[in-house]
A and B are shown apart, each in its own frame.
Chain A
């Protein structure tokens, strides 16, 4: 028996065989072709000696071969380690060393057999339907999140988790087979990959752009494919505004839905979206890779309380506000947002990382919030110290370690508001006074150590690094000042 997700995707393939399923660049495939190519990709994986319980790592890009391999692995019960193609060498070493995949796609690492998407050719292979029995509780995907400590955490999502999440989302947004989505989000994150799954199980068409960097190209895709929806994070909206003003409003009549990922979004931006898209379902979610899209709200329906993060996405999901001992709190009392439901991961890849991650079946998000009198949830603050740079997560300790490795005695890194108002946050580093290196030296030194977006936008000298009695850096004390 196939996984629930693949059962649903194959149902779409059989129901809409001649309809376009996927577009990437100049390539376009129908649902019939999608099924054939997924089966062929499965034949390829088998021919490489891979089978149920094995693990492969995929660099998640907009290539169609990525999509075929991703689903083919699910059909065979092979676990997908989904990797960001922009991961630095240190992170890649950690992820690959931990998960030990038997084959790599789209990137190379040490002597593990690797395949570039450009050189793959599944077409001569047999397109027969695999007969492997896949249990819905088996691990489907492993996605790494940025941990505060700098060590990424592998989130193990079961076949049931990823299917349930897609059903929850489609139920809220109202996706259908008439949808055409233009997707510029990266596929390596839960959000973008989720959109791919949602569209394909609904029988819609998805156009993979890979990025929103080229707004002209994005608008052109909306026009060419007569798109009915797209998904973005708040920083993408700020970027669209900067590079095109409000001209996206001309597409409002054709846009049925917009899904927005949760991150701080100014109230004025939400109001502006409401006025630019008066009849579009503008759905903002709250969630984490571990508990994908736990809550949703729709802008027009919540026009009087636009700052809510909404309510549980479906009746299969429950959200409680809990105190420090895991006791549920009454309305209006602030506590930790905890999520239980069909899409919540069961475990991190390293079981020891589960310590403190759950209260029973409720995943502890690390975010503080409360339930209002109106039964809506409100986010108060994120107690985790991750810096969110335009949707990309940066671990402060990773940046600090890189700075210290250059020869600085000590430093502390926090997220501060991006002065351009586009990225949300940017990293700022406080360097302990007395360093022989100038800020410019540090900035140059970091260029070979960190991805560009992780390099602090601001530096400042500090007399003493604020620490707790046990020596833990108190980053939030600087962030709030």
Chain B
């Protein structure tokens, strides 16, 4: 699951998976700007068939929190 999430993130941001450390936050790399963030959320929702609630989006500021959120949503599904 984690590998799949990282693949989607790396492909939507257009960066190599090796840069996606757990602590990497929005804005730490130029590719993860607001446009990249939108593309990434849209790709995660579309490819994993989930819908991230708005109140959770606010908290998704690093790779760790994103993985944890997606896992939670998939488990709840």
Report A's interface with B, CB cutoff 8 A: 85-86, 210-217, 235-236, 239, 242-245, 247, 389-390, 392, 420, 422-423, 447, 452-453
Q: List 28 A-B contacts (CB under 8 A).
A: A85-B30, A86-B30, A211-B33, A213-B26, A213-B32, A213-B33, A214-B25, A214-B27, A214-B61, A215-B58, A216-B58, A216-B61, A217-B26, A217-B61, A236-B34, A242-B54, A242-B57, A243-B57, A244-B54, A244-B57, A245-B54, A247-B58, A390-B35, A420-B38, A423-B35, A423-B38, A452-B31, A452-B39
Question: What's the Cα separation between A302 and B38 when bound, in Å?
Answer: 32
In the complex formed, the residue of B with least CB distance to A216 is: B61
Instruction: Identify A390's interface contact among B31, B34, B57, CB under 8 A.
Output: B34
In the complex formed, the residue of A with least CB distance to B35 is: A453
Question: What's the Cα separation between A210 and B36 when bound, in Å?
Answer: 15
List residues of chain A with CB within 8 A of the CB of B59.
216
Question: What's the Cα separation between A211 and B36 when bound, in Å?
Answer: 12
In the complex formed, the residue of A with least CB distance to B39 is: A452
Distance from B19 Cβ to chain A, minimum over Cβ atoms (Å): 15
List residues of chain A with CB within 8 A of the CB of B61.
214, 216-217
In the complex formed, the residue of B with least CB distance to A426 is: B35
- The residue in A213, A215, A244, A420 that gathers the most chain B C-beta atoms within 10 A of its C-beta is A213
Q: Which of B17-46 contact A (CB under 8 A)?
A: 25-27, 30-39, 42
- The residue in B25, B37, B42 that gathers the most chain A C-beta atoms within 10 A of its C-beta is B37
Instruction: Identify A447's interface contact among B14, B33, B57, CB under 8 A.
Output: B14
In the complex formed, the residue of B with least CB distance to A390 is: B35
Known: A216-B59, A235-B34. 8 other contacts (CB 8 A): A212-B34, A213-B27, A216-B58, A217-B26, A239-B34, A242-B54, A392-B35, A452-B35
Task: From known contacts A211-B33, A214-B61, A244-B58, infer whether A239 and B38 are also in contact, taking CB-CB under 8 Å.
Answer: yes
Distance from A63 Cβ to chain B, minimum over Cβ atoms (Å): 14
- The residue in A85, A210, A212, A389 that gathers the most chain B C-beta atoms within 10 A of its C-beta is A212
List residues of chain A with CB within 8 A of the CB of B54.
242-245
Task: From known contacts A213-B33, A422-B38, A452-B39, infer whether A243 and B58 are also in contact, taking CB-CB under 8 Å.
Answer: yes
Question: What's the Cα separation between A442 and B42 when bound, in Å?
Answer: 21
Residues A213 and B58 in contact, CB atoms below 8 Å apart: no
B76 CB within 8 Å of chain A? no
Question: What's the Cα separation between A14 and B67 when bound, in Å?
Answer: 50
Residues B30 and A389 in contact, CB atoms below 8 Å apart: no
Question: What's the Cα separation between A86 and B35 when bound, in Å?
Answer: 13
List residues of chain B with CB within 8 A of the CB of A216.
58-59, 61
List residues of chain B with CB within 8 A of the CB of A420.
38, 42
B2 CB within 8 Å of chain A? no
In the complex formed, the residue of B with least CB distance to A422 is: B38
Distance from A67 Cβ to chain B, minimum over Cβ atoms (Å): 19
Residues A210 and B27 in contact, CB atoms below 8 Å apart: yes
In the complex formed, the residue of B with least CB distance to A210 is: B27
In the complex formed, the residue of A with least CB distance to B62 is: A214
In the complex formed, the residue of B with least CB distance to A245 is: B54
Question: What's the Cα separation between A212 and B61 when bound, in Å?
Answer: 12
Question: What's the Cα separation between A217 and B37 when bound, in Å?
Answer: 14
List residues of chain B with CB within 8 A of the CB of A389.
35
List residues of chain B with CB within 8 A of the CB of A217.
26-27, 61
List residues of chain B with CB within 8 A of the CB of A210.
27
List residues of chain A with CB within 8 A of the CB of B35.
389-390, 392, 423, 452-453
Question: What's the Cα separation between A422 and B33 when bound, in Å?
Answer: 14
Distance from A414 Cβ to chain B, minimum over Cβ atoms (Å): 19
Distance from A341 Cβ to chain B, minimum over Cβ atoms (Å): 32
**Complex A-B, nearest 6 residue pairs according to Cβ-Cβ distance, in ascending order:** A214-B26, A213-B34, A213-B26, A243-B57, A213-B27, A244-B58
Distance from A242 Cβ to chain B, minimum over Cβ atoms (Å): 7
Instruction: Identify B34's interface contact among A211, A245, A247, A447, CB under 8 A.
Output: A211
Residues B26 and A245 in contact, CB atoms below 8 Å apart: no
Distance from A423 Cβ to chain B, minimum over Cβ atoms (Å): 7
